[in-house]
Amino acid sequence: MNEKFYNIEVLNQDGTTQNLKEYEGKLLLIVNTATGCGFTPHYEELEAMYKDYKDKGFEILDFPCNQFANQAKGTDQEINQFCSLKYNTTFKRFKKIEVNGPNKCELFKYLEDNQPYAGKGMKLGFLSKLSKAKDNEIRWNFTKFIVDREGNVIKRIEPTTNMKDVRKIVDDLIK
């Protein structure tokens, strides 16, 4: 088990601290999201995957982020209400975070360090330029990371990746 990963603490929507140890032994898809992004319809596919695989030890951890073109406006409660009503999401949503810069959330620093940006998957190169991301930083909302059941970050998936391909990756790993 990767104790370093499982010892990371994140903030729940109500501001309480949660240790990732709760997810030990589960396959995780961790994603930074926004409700006003062109990729927001990913929520529909994410929820479908969650419903199909949650009983097989799969969890989606959703971290809203307002760092890209101000696309996650509103409070944590407003974001949660939007996702619940528009996309019927039932997976865990955490407090809004920053994924880049000096206030970067510890979890995303860890994810980036363990699955660096490979310069692939961002077919829409202008998003990378628009985000002004450096090195391994997140390029845009709906960047996804897969963490295996041992706590190892095994895949980084850029937001322009087709959700059918994301599902195939998860499907292959869930077995």
The token duo for 18 is 């949660």
Beta partners for residue 158, in sequence order = none
> Alpha-carbon distance 72 to 61, whole Å?
16
Coil, helix or strand at residue 124:
coil
Q: Residue 134 burial by CB count (10 A; 0-12/13-18/19+): exposed, middle or buried?
A: exposed
Cα Dmax for the chain: 39
Q: Is 65 a catalytic residue?
A: no
The token duo for 153 is 């970050």
Query: What is the DSSP secondary-structure string of 139-164?
Result: -STT-EEEE-TTS-EEEEE-TTS-HH
Q: Which of 37, 65, 83, 105 is catalytic?
A: 37
Catalytic residue numbers, as ranges: 37
